[in-house]
Structure 1
Amino acid sequence: MGANPQAGEVALSLGGRSHVCKLTLGTLAELEAELGEDSLVALVERFETGRFRAADVIAVLEAGLRGGGWRGTRADLVAGDPAGGPVGAARAAAALIARAFAVPE
């Protein structure tokens, strides 16, 4: 199962298994609350300006995994060793944020 970037999806290899991630409206609302942002624009700016923390990356990936149908836990994610390590995880989180707000052509 491959990710469809046009649909806002991002592929994430976690523990050697490929998962499709997608930020849905519901998971974006949860992220706003969890990350203490007052708007979606502020959440996007946090990643665009490089002001994100490792906890932010984990929260975005967890939300994206859930949006893609994953039923794991945050502990599963943290223990799952994402492909590319911390840099790969940050890239996947940034791609999720960017694709959630991309306007399809």
Structure 2
Amino acid sequence: MANPWRGEVALVVDGVRYSAKLTLGALVELEAALDEPSLVALVERFEGNRFSSRDVLALLGAGLRGGGAEVSERALARADIEGGPMEAARIAAELLARAFVVPE
């Protein structure tokens, strides 16, 4: 079960439920992979709805690895994400938000 107080978000990939979270290492990975100068710029991209499917895939991959799963972005790109692309984008945005905001 995902614990929002730890920044975790539930994600079902190929029928397997994972707890994804953005650790500091995962955030460093994201900055490099998405060629952003800062995390603030990445957050602004999502807040302004200027994100791409590549951004979503990178966020989910980093979150899964931050949660302890050994999943490559290549494998994730071919996987079935429960809820489809819209749910994947929602989860990616939630991962980013939980990395910086305490749940209500």
Report the TM-score when normalising by structure 2. 0.95
1:48 to partner: Cα distance: 0.7
Quote the residue 1:64 is aligned against.
63
Give SS of 2:102's match. coil
Show structure 2 runs of 5+ residues with no match: none
Quote the residue 1:54 is aligned against.
53
Quote the residue 1:98 is aligned against.
97
Q: Does 1:3 align with 2:2?
A: yes
Give SS of 2:10's match. strand
Give SS of 2:28's match. helix
1:104 to partner: Cα distance: 5.9
Report the TM-score when normalising by structure 1. 0.94
Q: Does 1:85 align with 2:80?
A: no
1:72 to partner: Cα distance: 1.9
- Structure 1 residues 26-45: Cα deviation after superposition (integer angstroms, max 9, x where no partner): 11011111111101110111
1:75 to partner: Cα distance: 2.2
Q: Does 1:33 align with 2:27?
A: no
Paired with 2:103 and 2:15, the residues of 1 have a C-alpha distance of 30
Paired with 1:79 and 1:104, the residues of 2 have a C-alpha distance of 31
Equivalenced residue count is 104
The amino acid of 2:79's aligned partner reads G
Q: Is the 8 A contact 2:4 2:103 kept in 1?
A: no
Give SS of 1:18's match. strand
The amino acid of 1:89's aligned partner reads A
> Which shifted more, 8-17 or 71-80?
71-80
Give SS of 1:12's match. strand
> After TM superposition, where is structure 1 displaced by more than 2 Å over at least 4 residues in a row?
none
Quote the residue 1:45 is aligned against.
44
